[in-house]
């Protein structure tokens, strides 16, 4: 078989991809058709026996995808091909009630809402799994000292658990956003050609409500021929937001695994895994790099999604072809990235000894701030304290000396700070602020959200 898209042969899990396969799409659409028939029957518009018959044949084992494709070659209309194929399989006169009062996009958009609902179920589980992994790691590394960095330069000490606690907070926000977007994203319609429901007659509102209740969906309260595409825009932007967060976490792994930093690294199977075809020593952060690359692809679907929001009058067909790409690819990539990020951090090796070594390599410069704050406690003005420490720091850099030793010789500090007070202020373990408590709070927040202990 010749394959073109990497989702066919390299990326994506079957659970997610199967939601968007062509056979699945057909099944979801027939689920909508059968729900429509049941709604009509419940309101007395058609006989219950006819609705039961339509529901009986509304499956891909009876209405074969091959037959639908065969009819589509003639009709050049995919939904009408399905309707004809369903009608063929109905016994008696039941087939004449298939698609009664509906337009194609009543079926298409409602089926898409069912796909989104199923896909979000998977994404929800992925997000919860990643939050749990982060919480375990944060708890384990609560007090592991690491240098914080700003502008890619040494700043002041943090703990690795504190770093991960920030990831927990961000993913908990995404978790909330997923729950907020669900009712807006999982919305269908059963309102006819331009949204007025005219073909459904006096039962229009009741039919629409009955169909959506049957399928567990919300409905568009004031549709055109389609549900509002602002719903899809919000959804895809959220997926892009989540993907960007994952890229941020994995970029950090890539940086920490750099040879000159070496503070953390991805799992590596020493017995079999190969890092390079020529450089036998290489251990590359390939999974983190993969997540970063896929995030760029996922974000690329944001623009066509916005453009599909702008349709002529009550609707044109320009959105249809684009959305066949956007939704399946975005969900498949998001699922792939979430699972891969979970794998990365679940197997992450934290090199706490190298973290300490890197802090020590600064020769005390990263502890300039706590000494400055200690001086303010002794009554020295903040600006004056800053200038004293700044000059001492520059002298330490110029002469490649320990800042502590330079401070011990600084005239302005004599009689203000003792040698023991300087040494104590320059202990990295004593200057991580609320890192530990913040980590504890975020682990507790994760446990509360997930309903289980870490």
- Annotated catalytic residues are 151, 276
End-to-end CA distance of the chain: 45
Give the Cα separation of 348 and 307 in Å (integer): 40
Give the Cα separation of 452 and 37 in Å (integer): 43
Q: Are strands 145-150 and 153-159 parallel, antiparallel or unpaired?
A: antiparallel
Q: Contact 210/43 with Cβ under 8 angstroms?
A: yes
Burial class (CB in 10 A: 0-12, 13-18, 19+), 276: exposed
Q: Kindly report the number of other CB atoms within 10 A of residue 379's CB atom.
A: 8
Give the Cα separation of 315 and 102 in Å (integer): 16
Helices (H), 21-103: 22-42, 48-57, 65-75, 78-89
Q: Is the dihedral of CA 137, 142, 146, 147 positive or negative?
A: positive
Show the tokens assigned to 97.
């009630």
Give the Cα separation of 314 and 310 in Å (integer): 10
Give me the DSSP letters along 313-324: TT--SHHHHHHH
Q: Contact 294/337 with Cβ under 8 angstroms?
A: yes
Burial class (CB in 10 A: 0-12, 13-18, 19+), 273: exposed
Q: Contact 392/407 with Cβ under 8 angstroms?
A: yes
Give the Cα separation of 39 and 214 in Å (integer): 8
Nearest Cα neighbor of 449 from 182, 171, 244, 120 is 171
The two most distant CA atoms of the chain are separated, in Å, by 104
């Amino acid at each position: 078989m010749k394959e073109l898209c990497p989702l066919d042969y390299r990326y994506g899990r079957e659970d997610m991809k199967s939601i968007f396969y062509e056979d699945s799409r057909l099944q979801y659409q027939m689920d909508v058709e059968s729900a429509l028939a049941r709604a009509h029957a419940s309101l007395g518009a058609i006989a219950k026996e006819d609705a039961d018959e339509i529901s009986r044949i509304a499956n891909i084992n009876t209405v074969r995808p091959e037959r639908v494709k065969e009819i589509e070659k003639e009709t050049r209309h995919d939904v009408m091909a399905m309707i004809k194929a369903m009608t063929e399989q109905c016994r008696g006169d039941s087939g004449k009630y298939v698609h009664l009062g509906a337009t194609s996009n009543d079926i298409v958009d409602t089926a898409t809402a069912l796909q989104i609902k199923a896909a979000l179920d998977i994404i929800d589980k992925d997000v919860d799994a990643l939050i749990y992994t982060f919480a375990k790691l944060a708890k384990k590394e609560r007090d592991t000292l690491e240098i914080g960095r700003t502008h890619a330069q040494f700043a002041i000490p943090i703990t690795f658990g504190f770093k991960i606690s920030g990831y927990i907070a961000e993913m908990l926000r995404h978790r909330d956003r997923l729950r907020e977007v669900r009712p807006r994203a999982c919305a269908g319609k059963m309102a006819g050609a331009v949204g007025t429901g005219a073909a459904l007659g006096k039962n229009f509102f009741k039919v629409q409500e009955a169909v959506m209740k049957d399928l567990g969906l919300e409905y568009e309260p004031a549709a055109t021929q389609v549900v509002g595409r602002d719903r899809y825009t919000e959804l895809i932007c959220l997926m892009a937001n989540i993907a960007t967060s994952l890229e941020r976490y994995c970029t950090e792994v890539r940086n920490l695994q750099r040879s000159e930093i070496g503070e953390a690294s991805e799992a590596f199977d020493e017995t079999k895994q190969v890092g390079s075809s020529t450089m036998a020593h290489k251990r590359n952060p390939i999974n983190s790099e993969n997540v970063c690359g896929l995030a760029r692809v996922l974000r690329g679907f944001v623009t066509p999604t916005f453009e599909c929001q702008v349709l002529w009058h009550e609707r044109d067909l320009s959105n249809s072809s684009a959305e066949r790409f956007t939704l399946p690819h975005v969900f498949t990539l998001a699922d792939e990235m979430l699972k891969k990020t979970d794998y990365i951090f679940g197997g992450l090796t934290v090199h706490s000894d190298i973290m300490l070594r890197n802090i020590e390599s600064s020769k005390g410069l990263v502890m300039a701030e706590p000494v400055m704050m200690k001086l303010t406690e002794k009554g020295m003005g903040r600006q004056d304290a800053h200038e004293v420490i700044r000059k001492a720091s520059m002298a330490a850099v110029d002469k490649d000396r320990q800042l502590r030793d330079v401070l011990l010789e600084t005239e302005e500090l004599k009689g203000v700070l003792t040698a023991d007070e300087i040494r104590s202020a320059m202990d990295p373990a004593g200057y991580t602020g609320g890192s530990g408590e913040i980590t504890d709070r975020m682990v507790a927040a994760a446990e509360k959200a997930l309903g289980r202990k870490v």
